[in-house]
């Protein structure tokens, strides 16, 4: 095991970044986690950075199955291994909410 340290060069903030930076601030403000100015800023070691992307990623199919309560050793087979778009597979893993049927004999 080793300690790794890196110095990264951050591109300058330009006017082209402003719309996205404002959208991040509006999103965070709508969720009650930002009450500052027009853009979200972060100060690290005396340098001020503007947040232009929250950087969320989609969960993998394994992570989605685990989040639904399937154990980590559950074997995912079937159409999950076929070629195709990830969004279609994700939609079939996510839970569904259904309207109850009114007047159904089992609900009477």
Residue 83 is assigned to a structural domain of this protein: yes
Same domain, 68 and 90: yes
Residue 91 belongs to domain spanning: 61-96
Q: Give the confidence band of 6 by pLDDT, cuts at 50, 70, 90.
A: confident
- 19 plus 46 within the same structural domain: yes
Q: Would residue 37 count as lying in a domain?
A: yes
71 occurs within a structural domain: yes
43 and 66 housed in the same domain: no
Same domain membership, residue 65 and residue 38: no
* Average pLDDT of the segment spanning 69-85: 71
Mean pLDDT of the chain: 78
Query: Nearest to residue 93, comparing CAs of 69, 24, 2?
Result: 69
- pLDDT score recorded for residue 81: 58
Is the same domain home to 68 and 88? Answer: yes
- The residue behind tokens 């989609």 is 58
pTM listed for this prediction = 0.49
| Tally of domains in the chain | 2
Does residue 105 form part of some domain?
Answer: no
Kindly state whether residue 9 falls inside one of the protein's structural domains: no
Q: Is residue 76 part of a domain?
A: yes
């Amino acid at each position: 095991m080793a300690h790794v340290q890196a110095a990264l060069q951050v591109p300058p903030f330009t006017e082209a970044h402003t719309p996205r930076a404002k959208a991040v601030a509006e999103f965070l403000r709508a969720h009650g986690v930002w009450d500052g100015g027009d853009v979200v800023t972060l100060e690290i070691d005396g340098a001020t950075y503007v947040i232009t992307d929250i950087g969320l990623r989609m969960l993998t199919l394994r992570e989605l199955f685990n989040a639904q309560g399937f154990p980590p050793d559950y074997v995912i087979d079937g159409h999950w291994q076929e070629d195709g778009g990830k969004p279609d597979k994700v939609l079939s893993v996510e839970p569904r909410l259904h309207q109850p049927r009114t007047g159904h004999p089992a609900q009477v």
